[in-house]
Chains A and B, each alone.
Chain A
Amino acid sequence: MIAAGLDPIGQFEIKKLAELKIGNFDISFTNSSLMMVICVAAISLWLLLSTKKSLIPGRAQSIAEISYEFIADMLRSSAGKDGMKFFPFVFALFIFILFANMLGMIPFFFTTTSHIVVTAVLALLVFFIVIIYGIWKNGLGFLKLFWPSGVPVYIVWFVSILEVISFFSRPISHSIRLWANVMAGHIMLKVFAGFCIMLVGAFGVVGGSLAGMLPFLMTFALTPLEFLVSFVQAYVFALLTCIYLSDALHPGH
């Protein structure tokens, strides 16, 4: 009975809140959809309240401006000045993932990024933008990406095959990195927090509280770590996006 409540997987379950169908596709409004809407609403509210165009920024405006400069610097340094046309896209990715991760840290809130399909859609979005923009801008020159210059002829084919494989495995690593980190963190938190409850169930309040100190401390230590992971994974996702976009802009090695 206790175990059912402590099931570390239960937190990832999708629950339908309102049925909705288009053709054969079930696009019901779920707890996941609700969190996505809350995420976008929270970002919009924050930016709406913090972008008052005042010359001397307040706290909220400072945070908005620091985020702006942070992503702009990252994109400029890895993709160059002409990469700035992708700035809204990279910023949207970063802030969406960051808010989704952070909102997921609130107890009883569903974490949208803990589902592989969500991270995969975002990663594939980046992947196809790179391919489409790369070909549209460079034409066949985009293929130079797979044909490194300055490599001796006898291994250039080998290197080229590696380049192709690494290019096509990008969306996989890109999406799994985020998803696995978020999901593993949430499972770990739930397992250690669950230990405390189970120990109380097994040894009573006094004995269980004493025995539960260790998993409690573990949960206590893991929580800030998970906040860090939430930020770092959003940052890494955005950084990799910048690097991939740089390939679309400058395919020559």
Chain B
Amino acid sequence: MLNAITLMSLKLAAAAPAGGEAKGETPFPPFDSNHFATQIFWLLLTFGILYFLLSRIFLPRIGQTIEERSSRIADDLDAASRMQKEAEEAEKSYERALAEARAKAHNVAETTRQSVDAEIEAEMEAADAKASKAAEAAETRIRAVRTKAMANIEAVAADAAQATVEALTGKKPTLATVKKALN
């Protein structure tokens, strides 16, 4: 295959100059000075038009667009940083307000608790006083009952002693004697 390619390339190489010769005296086209004038003329004309269009219309337009965009971006960035600062300040003041509110609420709770405590204490004291008074009354009553009972015991004992003595001796002692003997 490579041989075939080499063969073909040789054939081509041989054919190219032959073709050139067949056309006679026409030189290698890029060196043909007959066509220099037209190329120079049309190049200067078209390039001149292109230069005019670019420098007067298109490039200023592109440049302006780019500049507008970059200034717009800078403005937007400024605004964004300003807004962020504002937001930060707002957050700070919010936190401050929150802390104040919290402290206030704490105070209110504390005072409420204190007053409630005081009330509870007063009530407790009152209840205590009532209870102790009741206990005292009960005690007095108990003592009275006991004294009365003791007196009764004496009478019962005297009676019993009188009866016992009477049964033993047949003689009924006086109550006063019995009581004297018992005491």
Contact B39 A195 (CB under 8 A): no
Distance in Å: Cβ of B149 to nearest Cβ of chain A: 113
Contact B65 A215 (CB under 8 A): no
The answer to whether A237 has its CB under 8 Å from any CB of chain B is: no
The residue of chain B having its C-beta at the shortest distance from the C-beta of A28 within the complex is: B38
Interchain CA distance A54-B59 in the complex, whole Å = 15
Interchain CA distance A193-B51 in the complex, whole Å = 37
Contact A91 B59 (CB under 8 A): yes
Residues in B neighbouring A61, C-beta threshold 8 A: 65
- Please tell me the number of chain A residues within 8 Å of chain B, measured between CB atoms: 65
Contact B30 A115 (CB under 8 A): yes
Residues in B neighbouring A210, C-beta threshold 8 A: 1
The answer to whether B114 has its CB under 8 Å from any CB of chain A is: no
The residue of chain B having its C-beta at the shortest distance from the C-beta of A99 within the complex is: B50
Tell which of A40, A48, A51, A202 touches B4, judged by Cβ atoms closer than 8 Å.
A202
The answer to whether B145 has its CB under 8 Å from any CB of chain A is: no
Interchain CA distance A215-B4 in the complex, whole Å = 11
Contact B66 A68 (CB under 8 A): yes
Given contacts A30-B35, A199-B5, contact A88 B59 (CB under 8 A): yes
Q: Write out, one digit per residue, whether chain A residues 191-213 have a CB within 8 A of any chain B CB (1) or not (0).
A: 10011001100110000001100
Given A115-B29, A211-B4, A211-B5, 13 more contacts at CB 8 Å? A3-B11, A6-B12, A7-B16, A9-B16, A27-B37, A51-B62, A68-B66, A69-B66, A112-B43, A117-B35, A117-B36, A118-B39, A121-B39
Residues in A neighbouring B54, C-beta threshold 8 A: 47, 88, 91-92, 95
**Chain B, interface SS category:** helix
- Please tell me the number of chain B residues within 8 Å of chain A, measured between CB atoms: 48
Distance in Å: Cβ of A85 to nearest Cβ of chain B: 10
Residues in B neighbouring A32, C-beta threshold 8 A: 35, 38-39, 42
Interchain CA distance A36-B59 in the complex, whole Å = 20
Tell which of B9, B16, B37, B51 touches A92, judged by Cβ atoms closer than 8 Å.
B51
Distance in Å: Cβ of A81 to nearest Cβ of chain B: 14
Interchain CA distance A43-B15 in the complex, whole Å = 39
Given contacts A9-B16, A26-B34, A191-B12, contact A121 B1 (CB under 8 A): no
